[in-house]
Structure 1
Protein backbone atom coordinates (compact mmCIF):
# COMPACT_ATOMS: atom_id res chain seq x y z
CA UNK A 1 0.00 0.00 0.00
CA UNK A 2 1.49 3.33 -1.05
CA UNK A 3 -0.92 5.18 1.31
CA UNK A 4 -0.81 8.10 -1.13
CA UNK A 5 -4.25 9.58 -1.70
CA UNK A 6 -3.46 12.26 -4.31
CA UNK A 7 -0.60 14.35 -5.67
CA UNK A 8 -1.32 18.08 -5.98
CA UNK A 9 0.85 20.15 -8.35
CA UNK A 10 1.57 23.78 -7.51
CA UNK A 11 -0.54 26.18 -9.57
CA UNK A 12 1.39 28.97 -11.30
CA UNK A 13 0.41 32.28 -9.66
CA UNK A 14 3.06 34.95 -10.37
CA UNK A 15 3.10 38.05 -8.14
CA UNK A 16 4.53 40.99 -10.11
CA UNK A 17 7.91 39.67 -11.37
CA UNK A 18 8.06 37.01 -8.63
CA UNK A 19 7.70 33.43 -9.89
CA UNK A 20 5.17 31.77 -7.55
CA UNK A 21 3.57 28.32 -7.40
CA UNK A 22 0.90 27.29 -4.90
CA UNK A 23 -0.44 23.74 -4.34
CA UNK A 24 -2.83 24.84 -1.59
CA UNK A 25 -5.48 26.14 -1.42
CA UNK A 26 -6.86 25.13 -4.83
CA UNK A 27 -10.24 23.89 -6.04
CA UNK A 28 -8.97 20.35 -5.44
CA UNK A 29 -7.43 20.96 -2.02
CA UNK A 30 -8.67 23.56 0.46
CA UNK A 31 -6.37 22.60 3.35
CA UNK A 32 -4.64 19.75 5.14
CA UNK A 33 -5.85 20.85 8.58
CA UNK A 34 -4.04 22.65 10.26
CA UNK A 35 -1.78 23.40 7.22
CA UNK A 36 -3.75 25.92 5.16
CA UNK A 37 -1.66 27.75 2.55
CA UNK A 38 1.67 27.46 0.73
CA UNK A 39 3.43 29.84 -1.67
CA UNK A 40 6.65 28.69 -3.35
CA UNK A 41 8.54 31.71 -4.74
CA UNK A 42 11.34 31.09 -7.25
CA UNK A 43 13.75 29.62 -8.07
CA UNK A 44 14.82 32.69 -10.05
CA UNK A 45 17.76 35.05 -10.43
CA UNK A 46 17.21 38.76 -9.88
CA UNK A 47 19.29 41.31 -11.83
CA UNK A 48 21.15 44.22 -10.28
CA UNK A 49 19.41 46.46 -9.33
CA UNK A 50 15.91 45.07 -8.63
CA UNK A 51 12.76 45.76 -6.59
CA UNK A 52 13.06 42.55 -4.56
CA UNK A 53 10.12 40.92 -2.78
CA UNK A 54 6.81 42.80 -3.15
CA UNK A 55 5.30 42.13 0.29
CA UNK A 56 5.00 45.59 1.84
CA UNK A 57 3.10 46.32 5.08
CA UNK A 58 -0.03 44.18 5.53
CA UNK A 59 -1.99 42.81 8.51
CA UNK A 60 -2.65 39.27 9.77
CA UNK A 61 -4.81 37.72 12.47
CA UNK A 62 -5.69 34.19 13.59
CA UNK A 63 -2.83 32.26 11.96
CA UNK A 64 0.92 31.68 11.83
CA UNK A 65 3.55 31.81 9.09
CA UNK A 66 6.65 29.66 8.62
CA UNK A 67 8.99 31.12 6.01
CA UNK A 68 11.80 29.06 4.48
CA UNK A 69 14.66 30.99 2.88
CA UNK A 70 16.58 28.71 0.51
CA UNK A 71 18.25 31.39 -1.62
CA UNK A 72 18.40 35.16 -1.27
CA UNK A 73 17.22 36.89 1.88
CA UNK A 74 14.15 38.37 3.52
CA UNK A 75 13.91 41.44 5.73
CA UNK A 76 11.12 41.22 8.31
CA UNK A 77 9.65 44.29 10.03
CA UNK A 78 6.51 44.29 12.17
CA UNK A 79 4.34 46.51 14.36
CA UNK A 80 5.51 44.66 17.51
CA UNK A 81 9.01 46.03 16.94
CA UNK A 82 10.70 42.94 15.51
CA UNK A 83 13.27 43.44 12.77
CA UNK A 84 15.64 40.97 11.09
CA UNK A 85 17.31 39.93 7.84
CA UNK A 86 17.43 36.15 7.41
CA UNK A 87 19.67 34.56 4.77
CA UNK A 88 19.92 31.20 2.93
CA UNK A 89 19.02 28.15 5.03
CA UNK A 90 17.29 30.31 7.65
CA UNK A 91 13.66 30.12 8.79
CA UNK A 92 11.19 32.66 10.20
CA UNK A 93 8.27 31.77 12.47
CA UNK A 94 5.56 34.33 13.18
CA UNK A 95 2.40 34.01 15.23
CA UNK A 96 -0.05 36.70 14.10
CA UNK A 97 -2.52 35.81 16.85
CA UNK A 98 -4.65 38.81 17.85
CA UNK A 99 -3.15 40.88 15.07
CA UNK A 100 -0.08 42.65 13.77
CA UNK A 101 1.20 44.44 10.68
CA UNK A 102 4.36 43.19 9.00
CA UNK A 103 6.34 43.52 5.81
CA UNK A 104 8.56 40.95 4.10
CA UNK A 105 10.91 42.57 1.61
CA UNK A 106 14.42 41.99 0.29
CA UNK A 107 17.38 43.62 1.99
CA UNK A 108 18.86 46.78 0.47
CA UNK A 109 21.95 44.72 -0.41
CA UNK A 110 19.89 42.18 -2.39
CA UNK A 111 17.97 44.95 -4.18
CA UNK A 112 21.26 46.60 -5.10
CA UNK A 113 23.27 43.52 -6.16
CA UNK A 114 20.60 40.96 -7.17
CA UNK A 115 21.14 37.22 -6.96
CA UNK A 116 19.32 33.91 -6.66
CA UNK A 117 16.03 33.78 -4.77
CA UNK A 118 13.90 30.88 -3.57
CA UNK A 119 11.59 31.37 -0.59
CA UNK A 120 8.55 29.43 0.61
CA UNK A 121 5.86 30.56 3.02
CA UNK A 122 3.54 28.13 4.78
CA UNK A 123 0.50 29.27 6.77
CA UNK A 124 -0.58 27.34 9.84
CA UNK A 125 -4.03 27.76 11.29
CA UNK A 126 -4.46 28.48 14.99
CA UNK A 127 -7.09 26.68 17.09
CA UNK A 128 -10.05 28.84 18.19
CA UNK A 129 -8.70 29.09 21.74
CA UNK A 130 -5.43 30.65 20.45
CA UNK A 131 -6.77 32.92 17.69
CA UNK A 132 -6.31 36.01 19.89
CA UNK A 133 -3.00 35.04 21.48
CA UNK A 134 -0.20 37.63 21.64
CA UNK A 135 1.81 38.06 18.43
CA UNK A 136 5.29 36.50 18.33
CA UNK A 137 8.21 36.48 15.89
CA UNK A 138 11.43 34.47 15.82
CA UNK A 139 13.90 34.53 12.91
CA UNK A 140 16.84 32.11 12.87
CA UNK A 141 19.83 31.81 10.55
CA UNK A 142 20.85 28.40 9.20
CA UNK A 143 23.55 27.86 11.85
CA UNK A 144 21.06 28.52 14.67
CA UNK A 145 18.75 25.65 13.65
CA UNK A 146 19.44 22.14 15.08
CA UNK A 147 20.14 19.50 12.43
CA UNK A 148 21.16 15.86 12.17
CA UNK A 149 22.02 13.39 9.41
CA UNK A 150 20.64 10.01 8.38
CA UNK A 151 21.72 7.36 5.86
CA UNK A 152 25.47 7.91 6.31
CA UNK A 153 25.19 11.64 5.73
CA UNK A 154 23.08 11.48 2.55
CA UNK A 155 20.07 12.95 4.41
CA UNK A 156 20.35 16.18 6.43
CA UNK A 157 17.36 17.14 8.59
CA UNK A 158 16.79 20.68 9.88
CA UNK A 159 14.51 20.19 12.88
CA UNK A 160 12.12 23.13 13.16
CA UNK A 161 9.27 21.98 15.42
CA UNK A 162 8.74 18.97 17.64
CA UNK A 163 11.29 16.19 18.03
CA UNK A 164 12.80 13.61 15.70
CA UNK A 165 15.76 11.30 16.24
CA UNK A 166 16.22 12.78 19.72
CA UNK A 167 16.71 16.29 18.31
CA UNK A 168 14.33 19.02 19.50
CA UNK A 169 13.14 21.67 17.08
CA UNK A 170 14.41 25.23 16.93
CA UNK A 171 11.02 26.83 17.60
CA UNK A 172 8.51 26.50 20.44
CA UNK A 173 5.27 25.64 18.69
CA UNK A 174 1.84 27.04 19.65
CA UNK A 175 0.19 23.62 19.32
CA UNK A 176 1.62 20.08 18.97
CA UNK A 177 3.48 20.16 15.64
CA UNK A 178 6.43 18.35 14.10
CA UNK A 179 8.18 19.87 11.08
CA UNK A 180 11.51 19.51 9.29
CA UNK A 181 13.29 20.72 6.19
CA UNK A 182 15.03 17.67 4.70
CA UNK A 183 17.95 17.86 2.24
CA UNK A 184 18.46 14.54 0.47
CA UNK A 185 21.37 13.66 -1.82
CA UNK A 186 20.68 11.43 -4.82
CA UNK A 187 20.21 7.87 -3.57
CA UNK A 188 19.66 9.00 0.02
CA UNK A 189 16.76 7.43 1.86
CA UNK A 190 14.87 7.67 5.15
CA UNK A 191 11.85 6.15 6.86
CA UNK A 192 9.44 7.76 9.29
CA UNK A 193 6.24 6.54 10.92
CA UNK A 194 3.49 9.16 11.22
CA UNK A 195 0.85 8.57 13.92
CA UNK A 196 -2.73 7.86 12.83
CA UNK A 197 -3.92 10.95 14.73
CA UNK A 198 -1.92 13.34 12.53
CA UNK A 199 -2.39 14.96 9.13
CA UNK A 200 0.76 15.12 6.97
CA UNK A 201 2.19 18.08 5.08
CA UNK A 202 4.63 16.75 2.45
CA UNK A 203 5.91 19.20 -0.20
CA UNK A 204 8.81 18.58 -2.56
CA UNK A 205 10.70 21.83 -3.13
CA UNK A 206 13.48 20.57 -5.40
CA UNK A 207 14.44 17.35 -7.15
CA UNK A 208 12.46 14.12 -7.41
CA UNK A 209 11.57 11.64 -4.70
CA UNK A 210 10.28 8.10 -4.67
CA UNK A 211 7.57 8.20 -1.98
CA UNK A 212 6.36 4.79 -0.84
CA UNK A 213 7.37 3.47 -4.26
CA UNK A 214 5.79 6.27 -6.30
CA UNK A 215 7.89 8.87 -8.15
CA UNK A 216 6.96 12.49 -7.38
CA UNK A 217 8.80 15.49 -8.88
CA UNK A 218 9.34 18.89 -7.28
CA UNK A 219 6.59 21.54 -6.85
CA UNK A 220 4.15 18.80 -5.82
CA UNK A 221 2.32 18.30 -2.52
CA UNK A 222 1.55 14.70 -1.57
CA UNK A 223 -1.74 14.04 0.24
CA UNK A 224 -1.90 10.81 2.23
CA UNK A 225 -4.75 8.56 3.27
CA UNK A 226 -5.91 8.95 6.86
CA UNK A 227 -4.56 6.52 9.43
CA UNK A 228 -1.03 5.61 10.41
CA UNK A 229 1.43 6.20 7.56
CA UNK A 230 4.80 4.51 7.15
CA UNK A 231 6.85 6.86 5.01
CA UNK A 232 9.68 5.49 2.91
CA UNK A 233 11.42 8.21 0.90
CA UNK A 234 14.32 7.86 -1.56
CA UNK A 235 15.82 10.65 -3.66
CA UNK A 236 16.03 10.01 -7.41
CA UNK A 237 18.05 13.25 -7.64
CA UNK A 238 19.30 15.79 -5.10
CA UNK A 239 16.11 17.00 -3.40
CA UNK A 240 14.64 19.23 -0.72
CA UNK A 241 11.48 18.27 1.16
CA UNK A 242 9.34 20.07 3.74
CA UNK A 243 7.72 17.48 6.00
CA UNK A 244 5.29 18.33 8.79
CA UNK A 245 2.57 16.57 10.72
CA UNK A 246 0.03 17.62 13.34
CA UNK A 247 -3.38 16.67 14.69
CA UNK A 248 -6.23 18.40 12.81
CA UNK A 249 -8.30 20.95 14.73
CA UNK A 250 -11.57 19.89 13.06
CA UNK A 251 -12.96 23.39 13.55
CA UNK A 252 -14.79 25.65 11.09
CA UNK A 253 -12.38 27.91 9.19
CA UNK A 254 -13.19 31.19 7.46
CA UNK A 255 -10.25 32.69 5.59
CA UNK A 256 -10.49 36.07 3.92
CA UNK A 257 -7.45 37.96 2.69
CA UNK A 258 -4.86 38.02 5.49
CA UNK A 259 -7.25 36.87 8.24
CA UNK A 260 -8.07 33.29 9.25
CA UNK A 261 -10.85 32.93 11.81
CA UNK A 262 -13.71 30.57 12.72
CA UNK A 263 -16.72 32.69 11.70
CA UNK A 264 -17.64 35.44 9.22
CA UNK A 265 -18.40 37.69 12.18
CA UNK A 266 -14.82 37.32 13.45
CA UNK A 267 -13.51 38.24 9.98
CA UNK A 268 -15.61 41.44 9.96
CA UNK A 269 -14.32 42.23 13.45
CA UNK A 270 -10.71 41.74 12.27
CA UNK A 271 -11.18 44.26 9.44
CA UNK A 272 -12.82 46.71 11.84
CA UNK A 273 -10.06 46.32 14.44
CA UNK A 274 -7.41 46.84 11.75
CA UNK A 275 -9.11 50.00 10.48
CA UNK A 276 -9.30 51.26 14.08
CA UNK A 277 -5.56 50.86 14.64
CA UNK A 278 -5.76 47.90 17.01
CA UNK A 279 -2.98 45.99 15.18
CA UNK A 280 -0.34 48.49 16.27
CA UNK A 281 1.21 51.36 14.37
CA UNK A 282 3.58 51.20 11.41
CA UNK A 283 6.59 53.43 12.07
CA UNK A 284 9.12 51.92 9.66
Structure 2
Protein backbone atom coordinates (compact mmCIF):
# COMPACT_ATOMS: atom_id res chain seq x y z
CA UNK A 1 0.00 0.00 0.00
CA UNK A 2 1.24 3.49 -0.87
CA UNK A 3 0.71 5.61 2.22
CA UNK A 4 -0.78 9.08 2.08
CA UNK A 5 1.87 11.72 2.75
CA UNK A 6 1.53 13.61 6.02
CA UNK A 7 0.45 17.13 5.01
CA UNK A 8 0.87 18.55 8.50
CA UNK A 9 1.16 17.52 12.12
CA UNK A 10 0.17 19.92 14.85
CA UNK A 11 -0.69 20.37 18.48
CA UNK A 12 -4.18 20.58 19.85
CA UNK A 13 -4.16 23.77 21.89
CA UNK A 14 -6.53 24.65 24.71
CA UNK A 15 -9.20 27.33 24.22
CA UNK A 16 -11.78 28.75 26.61
CA UNK A 17 -15.44 28.47 25.62
CA UNK A 18 -17.16 30.33 28.43
CA UNK A 19 -16.62 28.22 31.56
CA UNK A 20 -15.36 25.26 29.50
CA UNK A 21 -11.66 24.73 28.76
CA UNK A 22 -11.12 22.31 25.91
CA UNK A 23 -8.75 21.36 23.10
CA UNK A 24 -9.47 22.72 19.62
CA UNK A 25 -7.23 21.12 16.98
CA UNK A 26 -9.14 23.08 14.32
CA UNK A 27 -10.10 25.66 13.32
CA UNK A 28 -6.91 27.48 14.26
CA UNK A 29 -4.84 30.36 12.96
CA UNK A 30 -3.26 27.92 10.50
CA UNK A 31 -6.13 25.50 9.73
CA UNK A 32 -9.46 27.03 8.73
CA UNK A 33 -11.10 23.63 8.23
CA UNK A 34 -10.28 20.20 6.83
CA UNK A 35 -13.02 19.90 4.21
CA UNK A 36 -15.65 18.51 4.88
CA UNK A 37 -14.84 18.79 8.61
CA UNK A 38 -15.50 22.27 10.01
CA UNK A 39 -14.55 21.97 13.68
CA UNK A 40 -13.14 19.46 16.17
CA UNK A 41 -13.38 19.90 19.94
CA UNK A 42 -11.90 17.52 22.52
CA UNK A 43 -13.56 18.27 25.85
CA UNK A 44 -12.45 16.85 29.16
CA UNK A 45 -11.53 14.80 30.95
CA UNK A 46 -13.46 16.82 33.55
CA UNK A 47 -14.21 15.73 37.09
CA UNK A 48 -17.96 16.35 37.29
CA UNK A 49 -19.76 16.91 40.58
CA UNK A 50 -22.60 18.99 42.02
CA UNK A 51 -20.09 21.80 42.65
CA UNK A 52 -18.33 21.48 39.27
CA UNK A 53 -20.45 20.99 36.16
CA UNK A 54 -19.29 23.38 33.40
CA UNK A 55 -20.53 21.21 30.54
CA UNK A 56 -24.29 21.60 30.94
CA UNK A 57 -25.34 23.10 27.59
CA UNK A 58 -28.90 24.40 27.59
CA UNK A 59 -31.14 24.55 24.49
CA UNK A 60 -29.35 26.00 21.43
CA UNK A 61 -29.93 25.85 17.65
CA UNK A 62 -27.97 24.44 14.69
CA UNK A 63 -28.45 24.63 10.93
CA UNK A 64 -26.58 23.53 7.83
CA UNK A 65 -24.27 20.79 9.12
CA UNK A 66 -24.03 17.65 11.27
CA UNK A 67 -22.87 18.00 14.90
CA UNK A 68 -21.49 14.65 16.07
CA UNK A 69 -20.54 13.57 19.60
CA UNK A 70 -18.20 10.67 20.34
CA UNK A 71 -18.51 10.13 24.10
CA UNK A 72 -15.29 8.73 25.57
CA UNK A 73 -16.04 8.77 29.30
CA UNK A 74 -19.11 9.58 31.36
CA UNK A 75 -22.79 9.97 30.60
CA UNK A 76 -24.78 12.71 28.84
CA UNK A 77 -28.47 13.43 28.37
CA UNK A 78 -29.51 14.55 24.89
CA UNK A 79 -32.83 16.35 24.25
CA UNK A 80 -33.97 17.99 21.03
CA UNK A 81 -36.85 19.80 19.33
CA UNK A 82 -37.74 16.64 17.36
CA UNK A 83 -38.82 15.03 20.63
CA UNK A 84 -35.76 12.80 21.06
CA UNK A 85 -34.43 12.21 24.56
CA UNK A 86 -31.64 9.71 25.18
CA UNK A 87 -28.84 8.97 27.62
CA UNK A 88 -25.54 8.71 25.76
CA UNK A 89 -22.99 6.54 27.58
CA UNK A 90 -19.24 5.99 27.25
CA UNK A 91 -18.40 4.67 23.78
CA UNK A 92 -21.75 5.73 22.30
CA UNK A 93 -22.06 8.13 19.36
CA UNK A 94 -24.79 10.66 18.67
CA UNK A 95 -25.00 11.92 15.10
CA UNK A 96 -27.33 14.86 14.56
CA UNK A 97 -28.25 16.09 11.10
CA UNK A 98 -29.21 19.70 11.80
CA UNK A 99 -30.38 20.33 8.24
CA UNK A 100 -32.85 23.23 8.12
CA UNK A 101 -32.76 23.56 11.89
CA UNK A 102 -32.82 21.75 15.19
CA UNK A 103 -32.64 22.85 18.81
CA UNK A 104 -30.91 20.54 21.24
CA UNK A 105 -29.51 20.46 24.75
CA UNK A 106 -26.90 18.18 26.27
CA UNK A 107 -25.07 17.74 29.52
CA UNK A 108 -24.23 15.18 32.20
CA UNK A 109 -27.27 13.35 33.58
CA UNK A 110 -28.46 14.37 37.05
CA UNK A 111 -27.48 10.94 38.39
CA UNK A 112 -23.98 11.23 36.94
CA UNK A 113 -23.52 14.67 38.52
CA UNK A 114 -24.81 13.45 41.88
CA UNK A 115 -22.61 10.33 41.90
CA UNK A 116 -19.61 12.23 40.44
CA UNK A 117 -17.41 10.96 37.63
CA UNK A 118 -15.21 11.83 34.66
CA UNK A 119 -16.63 13.30 31.45
CA UNK A 120 -14.71 13.31 28.15
CA UNK A 121 -15.73 13.44 24.51
CA UNK A 122 -15.18 14.65 20.97
CA UNK A 123 -17.50 17.14 19.29
CA UNK A 124 -17.21 17.17 15.49
CA UNK A 125 -18.91 19.48 13.01
CA UNK A 126 -19.36 17.84 9.60
CA UNK A 127 -20.40 20.14 6.76
CA UNK A 128 -23.38 19.48 4.49
CA UNK A 129 -23.35 20.47 0.80
CA UNK A 130 -25.61 23.33 -0.28
CA UNK A 131 -28.18 20.93 -1.70
CA UNK A 132 -28.62 19.29 1.71
CA UNK A 133 -28.32 22.21 4.11
CA UNK A 134 -32.09 22.60 4.34
CA UNK A 135 -33.09 18.92 4.56
CA UNK A 136 -35.26 17.62 7.37
CA UNK A 137 -33.30 17.34 10.65
CA UNK A 138 -32.57 13.90 12.07
CA UNK A 139 -30.98 12.31 15.13
CA UNK A 140 -29.12 9.00 15.43
CA UNK A 141 -27.82 7.44 18.65
CA UNK A 142 -25.79 4.24 18.38
CA UNK A 143 -24.44 2.29 21.35
CA UNK A 144 -20.83 1.24 21.87
CA UNK A 145 -21.58 -2.48 21.91
CA UNK A 146 -23.51 -2.35 18.61
CA UNK A 147 -20.74 -1.03 16.36
CA UNK A 148 -18.91 -3.41 14.03
CA UNK A 149 -15.25 -3.95 14.91
CA UNK A 150 -12.16 -4.76 12.82
CA UNK A 151 -9.27 -6.38 14.77
CA UNK A 152 -5.63 -6.31 13.63
CA UNK A 153 -3.81 -9.54 12.80
CA UNK A 154 -1.76 -9.21 15.99
CA UNK A 155 -5.03 -8.85 18.00
CA UNK A 156 -3.71 -5.64 19.58
CA UNK A 157 -5.79 -3.04 17.74
CA UNK A 158 -9.57 -2.74 17.54
CA UNK A 159 -11.14 -0.34 15.06
CA UNK A 160 -14.78 0.50 15.75
CA UNK A 161 -16.54 1.44 12.51
CA UNK A 162 -18.83 4.35 13.40
CA UNK A 163 -19.61 5.50 9.85
CA UNK A 164 -18.41 4.56 6.39
CA UNK A 165 -16.57 1.36 5.50
CA UNK A 166 -13.34 -0.50 6.21
CA UNK A 167 -12.49 -3.90 4.71
CA UNK A 168 -16.13 -4.41 3.66
CA UNK A 169 -17.28 -3.77 7.23
CA UNK A 170 -19.77 -0.93 7.54
CA UNK A 171 -20.73 1.63 10.16
CA UNK A 172 -24.21 1.78 11.67
CA UNK A 173 -24.56 5.53 11.16
CA UNK A 174 -26.38 6.54 7.97
CA UNK A 175 -24.45 9.48 6.49
CA UNK A 176 -25.49 12.28 4.15
CA UNK A 177 -22.06 12.49 2.52
CA UNK A 178 -19.14 10.17 1.74
CA UNK A 179 -17.35 9.98 5.09
CA UNK A 180 -15.52 7.53 7.36
CA UNK A 181 -15.35 7.76 11.15
CA UNK A 182 -13.37 5.09 13.06
CA UNK A 183 -12.54 4.96 16.79
CA UNK A 184 -9.26 3.11 17.31
CA UNK A 185 -8.08 1.40 20.52
CA UNK A 186 -4.48 0.21 20.27
CA UNK A 187 -2.38 -1.77 22.73
CA UNK A 188 1.38 -1.24 22.86
CA UNK A 189 3.22 -2.66 19.81
CA UNK A 190 -0.01 -3.19 17.86
CA UNK A 191 0.19 -2.46 14.12
CA UNK A 192 -2.42 -1.97 11.40
CA UNK A 193 -2.93 -0.32 8.01
CA UNK A 194 -6.10 1.64 7.24
CA UNK A 195 -7.00 1.93 3.55
CA UNK A 196 -9.45 4.58 2.42
CA UNK A 197 -10.74 6.15 -0.79
CA UNK A 198 -8.31 8.34 -2.75
CA UNK A 199 -10.99 11.01 -3.15
CA UNK A 200 -11.09 11.55 0.63
CA UNK A 201 -9.15 13.96 2.81
CA UNK A 202 -8.02 12.06 5.91
CA UNK A 203 -7.03 13.06 9.41
CA UNK A 204 -5.95 11.29 12.58
CA UNK A 205 -6.51 12.68 16.09
CA UNK A 206 -4.83 11.21 19.16
CA UNK A 207 -6.83 11.27 22.40
CA UNK A 208 -4.14 9.57 24.46
CA UNK A 209 -0.98 7.51 24.06
CA UNK A 210 1.66 7.56 21.33
CA UNK A 211 1.74 6.04 17.85
CA UNK A 212 4.09 6.01 14.87
CA UNK A 213 2.28 6.97 11.65
CA UNK A 214 3.36 5.58 8.26
CA UNK A 215 6.57 4.38 9.87
CA UNK A 216 8.06 7.86 9.97
CA UNK A 217 6.54 10.36 12.41
CA UNK A 218 5.24 10.09 15.96
CA UNK A 219 1.77 11.22 16.94
CA UNK A 220 2.06 12.10 20.61
CA UNK A 221 -0.15 13.93 23.08
CA UNK A 222 0.89 17.59 23.52
CA UNK A 223 3.39 17.37 20.65
CA UNK A 224 1.79 16.26 17.39
CA UNK A 225 -1.77 15.40 18.30
CA UNK A 226 -3.43 15.96 14.91
CA UNK A 227 -2.26 14.75 11.51
CA UNK A 228 -3.76 15.74 8.18
CA UNK A 229 -2.93 13.73 5.06
CA UNK A 230 -2.48 14.51 1.38
CA UNK A 231 -4.68 12.81 -1.22
CA UNK A 232 -1.72 10.98 -2.77
CA UNK A 233 -1.95 7.43 -1.49
CA UNK A 234 -4.21 4.55 -0.54
CA UNK A 235 -4.28 4.83 3.25
CA UNK A 236 -2.15 5.11 6.37
CA UNK A 237 -0.47 2.82 8.90
CA UNK A 238 -0.14 3.10 12.67
CA UNK A 239 2.06 1.34 15.20
CA UNK A 240 1.36 1.89 18.89
CA UNK A 241 4.33 2.80 21.09
CA UNK A 242 1.99 2.86 24.09
CA UNK A 243 -1.64 2.01 24.77
CA UNK A 244 -3.46 4.60 22.66
CA UNK A 245 -6.89 5.85 21.58
CA UNK A 246 -7.35 7.62 18.24
CA UNK A 247 -10.10 8.98 16.03
CA UNK A 248 -9.66 8.54 12.28
CA UNK A 249 -11.79 10.67 9.96
CA UNK A 250 -11.92 10.92 6.19
CA UNK A 251 -14.34 12.56 3.83
CA UNK A 252 -14.83 13.70 0.28
CA UNK A 253 -14.22 17.47 0.15
CA UNK A 254 -17.38 19.46 -0.65
CA UNK A 255 -15.40 22.37 -2.16
CA UNK A 256 -18.06 25.03 -1.56
CA UNK A 257 -17.94 28.43 0.09
CA UNK A 258 -18.40 28.16 3.86
CA UNK A 259 -19.89 30.88 6.04
CA UNK A 260 -20.12 30.27 9.80
CA UNK A 261 -21.56 32.25 12.66
CA UNK A 262 -22.10 30.75 16.08
CA UNK A 263 -24.12 27.54 15.69
CA UNK A 264 -24.74 27.85 11.94
CA UNK A 265 -22.71 26.61 8.95
CA UNK A 266 -24.02 27.94 5.65
CA UNK A 267 -22.72 29.07 2.24
CA UNK A 268 -23.25 32.84 2.52
CA UNK A 269 -23.74 35.70 4.98
CA UNK A 270 -27.31 36.10 3.72
CA UNK A 271 -28.08 32.50 4.68
CA UNK A 272 -26.61 33.09 8.14
CA UNK A 273 -28.93 36.07 8.65
CA UNK A 274 -31.87 33.95 7.48
CA UNK A 275 -30.90 31.23 10.00
CA UNK A 276 -30.82 33.73 12.87
CA UNK A 277 -34.18 35.16 11.82
CA UNK A 278 -35.78 31.71 11.46
CA UNK A 279 -34.56 30.69 14.91
CA UNK A 280 -35.96 33.87 16.47
CA UNK A 281 -39.27 33.27 14.70
CA UNK A 282 -39.49 29.73 16.10
CA UNK A 283 -39.09 27.98 12.73
CA UNK A 284 -36.50 25.58 14.17
CA UNK A 285 -38.92 24.29 16.78
CA UNK A 286 -38.95 24.68 20.53
CA UNK A 287 -37.16 23.00 23.40
CA UNK A 288 -37.84 24.01 27.02
CA UNK A 289 -34.97 24.44 29.47
CA UNK A 290 -34.54 21.47 31.80
TM-score class normalised by the smaller sequence: over 0.9
Which residue pairs with 1:255 in the alignment?
Answer: 260
Equivalent residues in 2 for 1:111-190, closer than 5 Å: 111-190=113-192
Q: Give TM-score, length-normalised by structure 2.
A: 0.93
Most deviating of 128-137 and 157-166? 157-166
Deviation at 1:52, TM superposition (A): 5.3
- Equivalent pair of 2:199/2:252 in contact (CA under 8 Å): yes
SS of the equivalent of 2:28 reads coil
- Equivalent pair of 1:160/1:171 in contact (CA under 8 Å): yes
Most deviating of 26-35 and 149-158? 149-158
Distance 1:136 1:193 in 2: 29
SS of the equivalent of 1:151 reads coil
Deviations 1:72-129 (A, max 9, x none): 1111100110110111111110000000110111100111111111111111000000
Which residue pairs with 2:31 in the alignment?
Answer: 29
Q: Give TM-score, length-normalised by structure 1.
A: 0.95
Distance 2:234 2:213 in 1: 12
Most deviating of 170-179 and 48-57? 48-57
1:63 and 1:15, CA in 2 relative to 1: closer, same or farther beyond 3 A?
same
- Equivalent pair of 1:155/1:189 in contact (CA under 8 Å): yes
Which residue pairs with 1:235 in the alignment?
Answer: 240
Deviation at 1:32, TM superposition (A): 0.7
Deviation at 1:230, TM superposition (A): 3.4
Most deviating of 211-220 and 154-163? 211-220
Distance 2:226 2:4 in 1: 15
Is 2:271 aligned against 1:269?
A: no
Deviation at 1:17, TM superposition (A): 5.0
Number of residues of Structure 1 aligned to a counterpart in Structure 2:
284
Is 2:196 aligned against 1:216?
A: no
Deviations 1:142-189 (A, max 9, x none): 112222311332111111111112221011111111111011111111
SS of the equivalent of 2:39 reads strand
SS of the equivalent of 1:26 reads coil
Deviation at 1:193, TM superposition (A): 2.6
Distance 1:93 1:3 in 2: 30
* Gap runs ≥5 in structure 2: none
SS of the equivalent of 1:110 reads helix
1:2 and 1:147, CA in 2 relative to 1: closer, same or farther beyond 3 A?
closer
SS of the equivalent of 2:159 reads strand
* Gap runs ≥5 in structure 1: none
Distance 2:4 2:161 in 1: 25
Deviations 1:180-225 (A, max 9, x none): 1011111111112333211112111111110112111136210112
Deviation at 1:2, TM superposition (A): 7.2
Deviations 1:49-79 (A, max 9, x none): 5435231111000000121111111111001
Distance 2:146 2:34 in 1: 29
SS of the equivalent of 2:145 reads helix
Distance 2:276 2:217 in 1: 44
Is 2:44 aligned against 1:42?
A: yes
Distance 1:17 1:240 in 2: 26
Which residue pairs with 2:195 in the alignment?
Answer: 193
- Equivalent pair of 1:49/1:114 in contact (CA under 8 Å): no
Distance 2:57 2:288 in 1: 16
Deviation at 1:227, TM superposition (A): 2.1
